[in-house]
Each structure stands twice: as structure tokens, then as C-alpha cells.
Amino acid sequence: MTDKTEKFILWFDEIDKNDIPLVGGKNANLGEMYQNLTHATSAMFPDEKVQVPYGFAVTAYAYKFFLEKSSLENKISEALSSLDTTNMKQLEDVGAKIREMIISSPFPQELDVAIRAAYQELGKKLHINDSVDVAVRSSATAEDLPDASFAGQQESYLNIKGEEGLLEAIKKAIASLFTNRAISYRVDQHFDHFAIALSVAVQKMVRSDRGASGVMFTLDTDTGFRDVVLINGAWGLGEFVVKGVVTPDEYMVFKPTLKNGFASIISKQLGDKEKKLIYATEGTASTHEIQVSLEDRQRFVLTDELILKLSRWGMMIEDHYQKPMDIEWAYDSQENQLFIVQARPETVQARKSMTILEDYILLEKGNVLTHGASVGQKIGCGKARFIKDPSQLSEFQQGEVLVAEITDPDWEPIMKIASAIVTNSGGRTSHAAIVSRELGIPAIVGCGDATNVLQTGKEITVACSEGEVGKVYEGLLQFKVNKTDVTDFTLPKTEIKMIVADPELAFTYSFIPNKGVGLAREEFIISNFIKIHPNALLNYDTLEDQEIKKQIDALTVGFTDKVAYYVEKLAYGIGIIAAAFYPHEVLLRFSDFKSNEYAGLIGGKLYEPKEENPMIGWRGASRYTDPKFQEAFALECQAVKRVREKMGLHNLQILIPFCRTPDEGKKVLEEMAKNGLSHDKTKNNLENTLDENLHVWVMAEVPSNILLVDEFSQIFDGFSIGSNDLTQLTLGLDRDSKLIAHIGNENNEAIHLLIHSLITQAHKKGLKVGICGQGPSDFPELSEFLVHEGIDSISLSPDTVLKTAMRISEVEKAQNS
């Protein structure tokens, strides 16, 4: 019997993850998954079986046999001997020469016969009488290792049919071990060119040309947050997603509650998906590109059911390998079949230290030239250089910003010397995004107009530090980098929570030591992501202003139900914040816009009064039960209900702002109950942050909240001091007036007396008291006073958490000494 190490062909059910030296990383992982996940049930998801298309590997032994019998190794060594990989022209010439040598050399007869026989056998095993359509992919023996990502270094050939076509595709795959970027990459990573061998995967094609395909990561690729599955998808075959030709849909699923059986999709973003790659029906090419219809561009490529199934599979694969994974998937909509076609360890975030917090801060503002999806959280500056095609690569200079329609793996030698990358197309899992993360440089993808507005030679700043939307600023702006080691950091006894508004920064903030969120602001989600007044959506059909309707239509693409747009966007924004800090408590404040702020939303002026002093007017609790706003408030309740009950994020609790009287508080709770958010104080376990029974706190920001603490204690589960408004209303200040802003702040003795009274009385009733106003972040001495008073939690701006928490620890230590 022939030794396994000396076989030309090994089938997927003959190989596993230990066979990388024989069949390369890609094939080893395909065999590992085929043997362990397609038949056996998972303890995590007993009803799921991962589907992996069957196939075989042309082995590394076959590759070496081919090179030896064709005398290619010596010829290749000679060609590489004096190569300078920084010389683009020389790299191009040497690479082309080696590839031509390989492609023009015939396979030895024994290998030729073995490949043909395996292809015929594959048809029999799959019960296919005609020629099997297969995907041919390279699988290097140093590829897909945890400490060396070779993603995209070699080529894939799709929809290959017939023996002759297969032999040609295998030879091309072997030749792709010597593409320009692969040669350059090995030199940079200090790999011996001949210490790496190439195996080739021959795998039954998934007809995703009549469905969808994409990539999936079992962590957030930008922050390294481990509790989500990130999925990108587009119509047709998967090459366009991987290469960044299209801007794909993006879905995010929260793993801990998915594991508990919840439909925990916490984000869905519609991509442009302008083109797709499908099977060719005529000519010599196996695939060709077509435009996607407007109708398909405006709908998601995956249903919620498929998103959740794919996420469960991702979790099963991650659990099997015990590390974050980078996975490619394909879906045949005609057969309604989903498949995993590749899996490899994720190699960027998995190696990143989570104990060193790195914070890039832009010190100046400038004119925004373009924007897109940010990749990473860094800032880069330099002169723009627009590269249209590979013939211009040699023009690129170190430290310039690469501007392109998309990037190609052939461009990696210049990407590694760029200060930043900006592309028109692609998503956060495109080639440009993956490589920029690996190189540790900022990138903005999917800008649409970057190649038009960023002319070569223009000085620009690429900022990915301000959230999910990356911005390209005019000029070389100043920035700084703060690094903090939190390895030995210990939180004080007083609970340290955060004030969070932007969902796009929530995962980043979650790495800062904390005990949850004491104030999650809805207003940011509404103004930055929804942008439309809820009543304008509720009354869309009767709106007479055509300009407003036009603006609404532009924002609600893909939504036939305009109201559903509001609920879904709000739920996703809230859900991401709740997921980021799970299982710690997240106190969400219902909308606290003033009438002038609501008027600033699209259609807002139609529904908002003009108040002389909106700061003490129609805001908070007084809105929620008002007939003019009741339906809008119902949408907020629906969003919260969705986050808690559908996504399973029971750590989300509620905060009622600006509640002037106990009677008003009761009416708000009644309104919430009408909309499915029931509250029963008798059933609450306030020590359990995942208590399925909703907890409702009240903001202590109107003096009546403190003067009537007994009455409010009978209605609500806790108090959260809003120090800004409490100061305003105690001292008779108008926060919007600069004329009197100097008169007082949260350290005023009157404010201290009220806080002392609240904490004393609330604790007697067994209720907790926190503070979520800006005061403790701005005034360290206020934090000291609060600790002495025995406050239960202090919520801080993320940038002040570590500094203030250390001060609080010192105060507690002094108190106990």
C-alpha cells in the first residue's frame, strides 16, 4: 500500500488539520471540517451539520514531483537568485518568466493519469454523469497558519469543467505560487521559496452564481471584539466580495444569545452590490460579470434565517478549532443549500494584545473630501497617489496614500509601504481591508468617489478613529496616539460605568475596564443613523411636502414599510451597545431631544412647537404620554422589546428622563405596558443584570425627584442623577445661555445637599443610586464627594474612565484606612 505522504491524490475524507505538510492549509482545513462537522452533531447546536462540498487534493508531493521531473526547481532558483523585490519592474519580469516556465511544462504522465482518474471518480461519488463543475484553488503548505496569513496570495479558478480544463487550471494554480505578490510576500515574511510547496483543492462548485456568497469572521475584524459573527455577502460567485469589486451587505450576529436560541442579529447594512460574477454560457471563459438589477441591489442577499444558520456554523467551526476563524461561504438559492467552501484561522485581531489600549486622536479638523467604511482605528497622512492599473505600481512612493478603485493582490508590494489606503469599492472584508489590517495601516473602503476627488499629489489625512465612517480630510492634520496598559488595572468597589452614544464605538469602549453603561443615549442613533422625525415616517402617506418625501425615500431604500425603518435602525443601534457590554447592565435613556432638536430632523418642523425655552419645555416623560407623540414613543418601545426579546439582550434596562411628578411616571409605565414593555417591581431581582423582568430607573434631574423620593421609589427601580439638568434646575440656570454659564456647576453646595439627600433616602428604600451626568468626568472632586456619600455607580465618558477610576480607588483606600 502506498504511503500517504507519497500519494498524488488525497480525498477530503482522508485528510485533516494535521496534514498541512501534505496538502496545505486550505485543503487540511477542508478535510478537517468535512470529517468532523458534516456528519457529527455539535453539542453547541445539536440540530446543525455544516455542509462542505466534497473534493480532493492534488498533493504537495505531486507538486514536488512535477518540479523535479520537469527540472523546474533549478530554473526557478536561478531566476530568483538576484531578485530585488523593491524593484517593481524586475519583480514583474521575474514573476512572468517563472509562471510561463511552469505553464509551458507538461505534467509527467503518472501525475496526468492520476488527476484524470480522480476527476472521473469525483463524478461517480457525487452521482453526476456529466463532467463535474469544480472550483480549483491553491493550498500552500505555509498558507492559513495562525502566525502567517497568505490569504489571497494564490489564484482560484471557478466553474472548471472537463479533464483538459482541470489540468490547465491546476497548472495555473501551481504557477500562482510565483505571482509577483506571492514572491514579494515570502521574501518579507522570510520564507524560503522552496520550503513552501503547493497543493491544489479540486472541490465541487456551489452554484452561488444563482444565489449569493461571501466571507464570515467569528469576531469583529476592526476591534477584535470576540462575541460577534461578522458576515459580508453579495450576489453571485464569491470572488467579487473577496477582491473588493463590490460593496457587500454586512450582517452582525451576537454569539452569546444566539447560543441561547435567540435570533440575535444586531446589525444589518445594505451594500451596493452593483455587479456579480456568474457562470459563462459561451466563449472560452468559465465566468463573466453582469450588472445587478436595481431591485436586487436594494434587497439583502441573505434572509434572517440564513444569517443565523451561517452564524451557528461559524460558531461551530470556531469551537472546533478553538480560535477565531476567517470563513468563505456560498449559497445556491435554486437548491436552497448553504455551504462552507473555505476556513482559516483569523490572523490579525487574534494576535493583537487586548491589554494595551491604543487611542488615535485627531487634534485638528479639516474639510472632508470623501468618506466610506473605516478599517481599523488609526490615522494616516500623506500625499495621495491614484493607481489605476498595475502598470503604474512602480510610480508609488513610500509614505503615500494609495487611492484606487479596488486593490488587487498583485499590489501588495506597494500596499506595505503606504501610509493609508482609500478605495471606491469594497467592504470591510475586501482584499484592501484584510491586507491593511494585517499591515496595521488605516484604510477607508467603499467611498464611491475617492478616485475623482483625491488627485495624485494632494496632501490628505485618512482618519479611521472616529467610528464606523472613515473620513478623508484635506491637508496633513495633527494627531496623537495614547497608549494605556490595563494589564494590572483593578476597578474600584464603586461601580464604574460608561456614558455611550455612538454604537460604532461601543466595541472599542468595551475593552476599557467597566461594569456596564450607566447612560446609553438614543439621541445619537436617531440623529446620525435614522435622521428622520418619527412622526414623518408614521404619517408618510399623507405628507404633502414632496422634498421631505424624497429625502425619506433616499434614506429608507429597501424598506417598503417606512415605520419599520425607524424601529429596525433604532433596535440595531441599541442592540450593538447592549451586546458590547453584555452581560453588564446597560441603562438606555429613552429619547430626550428638546423640541428644537427634534425639529432639526427630516420632517421635524412639521411636528414640533416653537418654544421659548426648550430646555425646560416639552421633553422626556411629558412627551411619551402626549397624544402628539404617543405613536412615536411606541416605536421606541418596539425597538427595546426587539432587543430584549428577539436578540435576547436582557441586560438592557430603561431610564426615564425628565419625569417631573410621580403621576407622570405612572403614566409612562402604563404607556410602556401598552407597547409590550411590562414592569413589575415585585418580581425584580436588581442584583441580576440579566433579569428577564424589565428594570426601569428614573433620572434624578428635577429637584422634585429628590424632594419626593419616597413616592418615586414606589414606582421605579433606581435613580440615576442627571447632574447637568439638576444643576440647571436647582440654580435656575438656562444651560443654553452663555451669559450665566459661569454662575455654577455640579460642585455647588446646593447640588451636594440634594445628592446627599437622594442617596440617603433611596438606600433606606433598598434602591440603588448612580450618576450619569457629565460632572464626574469633568470634576474629579465631585467623584470624591460621591464616593464619600456611598453612591452605587458612577458613569463616565470613555476617555476619563481610567483616570477617574484610579482616583476613586485612592479615595476608597483612604476611606478604609
Q: Tell me which residues are annotated as active site.
A: 431, 772
Cα(560)–Cα(298) distance, integer angstroms: 11
Residues ≥6 apart with Cβ < 8 Å to 209: 159, 236, 237, 276, 277, 278, 279, 287
Cα(315)–Cα(168) distance, integer angstroms: 37
Q: Go through 14-50 and write b for each residue having 16 or more CB atoms within 10 A of its CB, e for each that does not.
A: bbbeebbebbbbbbbbbbbbbbbbbeeebeebeeeeb
> Of 62, 124, 109, 354, nearest to 223 (Cα)?
354
Q: Which residue has the cell 506597494?
A: 414
Q: Go through 346-376 and write b for each residue having 16 or more CB atoms within 10 A of its CB, e for each that does not.
A: bbbbbeeeeeebeebebeeebeebbbbbbbb
Cα(354)–Cα(356) distance, integer angstroms: 6
3-state secondary structure of 254: strand
H or E stretch at 673: helix 662-674
Q: Which residue has the cell 467569528?
A: 218
Q: Give the relative orientation of helices 780-789 and 801-816 as an angle to the nearest 10 degrees.
A: 40
Q: Which amino acid is at 575?
A: G
Cα(198)–Cα(136) distance, integer angstroms: 13
Grid cell, residue 539, equals 404619517
Give me the torsion for CA of 662, 703, 796, 776, rounded to 10°.
-160
| DSSP-H helix ranges across 561-629 | 562-580, 595-599, 621-624
| DSSP-H helix ranges across 653-779 | 662-674, 703-707, 709-713, 723-731, 749-764, 775-778
3-state secondary structure of 497: strand
> Of 411, 342, 409, 432, nearest to 150 (Cα)?
409
174: phi > 0 → left, psi -120 to 50 → alpha, else beta; which? alpha
Q: Give the relative orientation of helices 20-37 and 304-321 as an angle to the nearest 10 degrees.
A: 130
> Of 498, 524, 502, nearest to 512 (Cα)?
498
Cα torsion 202, 332, 428, 348: sign: negative
Strand partners, 371: 471
| DSSP-H helix ranges across 265-394 | 294-297, 304-321
| 39 secondary structure, DSSP code | S
Question: How many Cβ atoms sit within 10 Å of the Cβ of residue 452?
Answer: 12
Cα(431)–Cα(420) distance, integer angstroms: 14
Give me the torsion for CA of 39, 45, 47, 48, rounded to 10°.
-50
Q: What angle do CA 613, 615, 618 make, to 5 degrees?
A: 85
Grid cell, residue 523, equals 439621541
3-state secondary structure of 783: helix
| 613 secondary structure, DSSP code | -
> Of 418, 442, 433, nearest to 362 (Cα)?
442
Grid cell, residue 294, equals 436595481
Q: Give the relative orientation of helices 60-69 and 109-125 as an angle to the nearest 10 degrees.
A: 150
Cα(182)–Cα(176) distance, integer angstroms: 8
> Of 56, 622, 99, 644, nearest to 410 (Cα)?
99
| DSSP-H helix ranges across 72-161 | 72-80, 88-104, 109-125
